[in-house]
Amino acid sequence: MALSLVTPQPRPADAAEKRLGARIAPSIAYWFAAPSILLLVATLLLPILVVVALSFTDYELGALGLSFLGFENYAALADDATFWRSLKNTAYYTVLVVPGSVLLALLLAVLISGLSRGRRFYQIAFFLPVTSTLIAMATVWKYLLHGAIGPVNHLLVFLGFPALEFFGNPDLVMPALAIIGIWQLVGFNMVLFIAGLTAIPADLYEAAAVDGMDRPWERFFTVTLPLLGPTTMFVVVTSSITAFKVFDTVAVLTRGAPQGASDVLLYVTYLEGFQYFRIGPAAAMTVIFLGIIMVLSLLQARIIERRVHY
């Protein structure tokens, strides 16, 4: 379907004149778009169709043939405890990371926007984790949160709390990973909030002041927060998508341990597909993953649309 774009189609010349003020051979547009269309089909559209097709088969890498299974892979997943655990853990991670990274980012953005100097310094400081190599920093975090020698535990003990074995305790491993996730995401969200805050017209604050609202929190709840509504929704959905894709920290730090408490969807899919080469089930998991991401993306698209009319 998309390939038909490459073939030049005859079309009325006035369409070209309307836009360009000159007669341009329509084939130029196709030549300009052709490399991207080729890549779009070869590295995106076709693979998606193939992954959906493979999810209905018992294909294994290296096997000579494959047979059509219908929905068997999906039915098997429905009975698979590891799969459900990975879904649950991913959802749990998302539920921890999203409020943490959004509320902190909002707080930081409001505080920074109220400053008369030093704004750039704070922006850079909080944004630095976004650009950091997560694998390297995950290794740092592993020792920061280490049960015996980690500075975080030194602090906890100093404050009179018991030391915690973050990566050894099934109840603490997801919160520990979430701390790293929040740390990496908060600066990104903060920048989005600062942009949203900059877009709020100053005369709305003046109007609020005329109405007798001169305390910061009054202004925050009557002016800032309602006008930041669309930005907040957008940041929440974007963060959910990011959190749902958690992989790196699990692959490096925990590999699902302890006792499967940190199995997440992408890690389990990765093991199934690229370690055990059971392509069929891995493809089925990928399709489910894509489905969840698409739902979140549609939500995001609707928010962007709403903002245009806002």
Partner 1 sequence: MPPLTLALRRLGLTPRELATHAVLLLAAFAVLFPFYWMVLTAVRPSQEVFSAGFSWLPETFVGLDNLRTALDQAPLLRFMLNGAIVCAGILVVQLLTAIPCAYALAKYEFRGRDLLFALTLFGLCVPIQVPALPLYIALAFTGLLDSYFALMLPFFLSVFAIFLFRQVFKSFPDEIIHAARLDGLSEMEILWRIVVPSAGPAIAAFAVFSITAHWNDLYWPLIVVTSKELAPPPLGMMYFADNETGANFGALMAAATLLTAPLMIIFLFAQRHFIRGVTMTGVK
Site for partner 1 in 183-222 (CB under 8 A): 183, 186-188, 191-192, 195-196, 199, 216
In the complex with partner 1, which residue's Cβ is closer, 77 or 279?
279
The reply to whether 67 sits near partner 1 by the rule CB under 8 A is no
The reply to whether 66 sits near partner 1 by the rule CB under 8 A is no
Give the distance, in angstroms, between the CA of residue 54 and the centroid of all CA atoms in the same chain: 26
Q: Which of 75, 111, 209, 210 binds partner 1 (CB under 8 A)?
A: 111
Give the shortest CB-187-to-partner 1 separation in angstroms: 8
The reply to whether 254 sits near partner 1 by the rule CB under 8 A is no
- Burial (CB < 10 A; 0-12, 13-18, 19+), residue 228, is buried
Task: List CB contacts of 187: < 8 A, sequence separation 6 or more.
Answer: 105, 126, 127, 128, 129, 130
For 50, the 3-state DSSP assignment is helix
Q: Which of 229, 247, 257, 258 binds partner 1 (CB under 8 A)?
A: 247
Give the shortest CB-213-to-partner 1 separation in angstroms: 16
Answer whether 66's CB lies under 8 Å from 58's CB: yes
d(CA 166, CA 152) in angstroms, rounded, equals: 10
Number of residues that bind partner 1 (CB under 8 A): 101
List the structure tokens of 67: 């047979």
Task: List CB contacts of 19: < 8 A, sequence separation 6 or more.
Answer: none
Q: Which of 35, 65, 70, 162 binds partner 1 (CB under 8 A)?
A: 35
Q: Which of 63, 78, 140, 210 binds partner 1 (CB under 8 A)?
A: 140
The reply to whether 178 sits near partner 1 by the rule CB under 8 A is no
The reply to whether 118 sits near partner 1 by the rule CB under 8 A is yes
In the complex with partner 1, which residue's Cβ is closer, 13 or 171?
13
List the structure tokens of 169: 């305790």
List the structure tokens of 149: 């020698």
